[in-house]
Amino acid sequence: MSAVKPKNVLVLGAGGGLGQAMIARFLTDPEVDKVIAVSRNGQPEDLSAHWISQSRLVWIESQYDEQSMLEVVDKLTPFAGTISRVCICHGILHDDHLWPEKRFEDIDASAMLEIFQANTIIPALWLKLLHKTLAGKIPCIVAVFSARVGSTSDNRLGGWYSYRASKAALNSLLKSFSVEYARRLKNVKLIAFHPGTVKTDLSRPFQASVPEQNLFTPAFVADQLINIMASAEVDGQLSYLDWDGKTIQF
């Protein structure tokens, strides 16, 4: 009887609140052998607590340009064919010089490029570069953090031009990846995941307008996504799901 390969987990964009919550949750699962985290900066203090087995947590730093990402993929070579879960947590909505547009006069080309780089291009590059790492016999579920506002059929309010468009473009790319992955990586299932409004820095300026029952903790969203991934079938299709596992229309 052949030995069972270890089930490893990969979290990309691990420095944010949701990425850290996913890592912490995966580390509580005894069936997970190792959690490999990738972020721009080193391991946060919150994930250096005494209860975390450092032998199970592998942290890799990357600047997310393509050459740096290739170097990460090279470091993942020992884990090739053993990864059963991937969370691509990249995303930006605002920062000190970016803000969601309220009207089309607010559109700024440099800001739009920055948002597309984080929300669309980096996730696409990961899916391009990781194909050999993910290929194998172990079913692998890949969840890419999208957003409901990426649904063009659900756009009733307008505004947020760059963020909406970057997530809609991400969804379109994921659809194309799912078609090609179905031919070349039959063990991989792609999910475009909408986490809802989460108590993280990404949504902080907008949380006051969200009803308390619709404002989620990162730990809650991590649990929801892990359950969704556990029940997902490797069917060669892209699923566009919200935090409750409900389908969102493209």
Question: Tens digit of pLDDT for each residue in 5-43?
Answer: 669 999 999 999 999 999 999 999 999 999 999 999 988
For residue 133, pLDDT over 50 is answered with yes
For residue 199, pLDDT over 90 is answered with no
The band of 1, judged by pLDDT with boundaries at 50, 70 and 90, is very low
Domain boundaries, the chain: 7-242
What is the SS3 string spanning the chain? Answer: CCCCCCEEEEEECCCCHHHHHHHHHHHCCCCEEEEEEEECCCCCHHHCCCCCCCCCEEEEECCCCHHHHHHHHHHCHHHCCCEEEEEECCCCCCECCECCCCCHHHCCHHHHHHHHHHHHHHHHHHHHHCHHHHCCCCCEEEEEECCHHHCHHHCCCCCCHHHHHHHHHHHHHHHHHHHHHHHHCCCEEEEEEECCEECCCCCHHHHHHCCHHHEECHHHHHHHHHHHHHHCCCCCCEEEEECCCCECCC
For residue 123, pLDDT over 60 is answered with yes
Please state the pTM of the whole predicted model: 0.92
Residue 211 confidence (pLDDT): 65
Fold of 7-242: Rossmann fold (3.40.50)
The band of 44, judged by pLDDT with boundaries at 50, 70 and 90, is confident
The band of 45, judged by pLDDT with boundaries at 50, 70 and 90, is confident
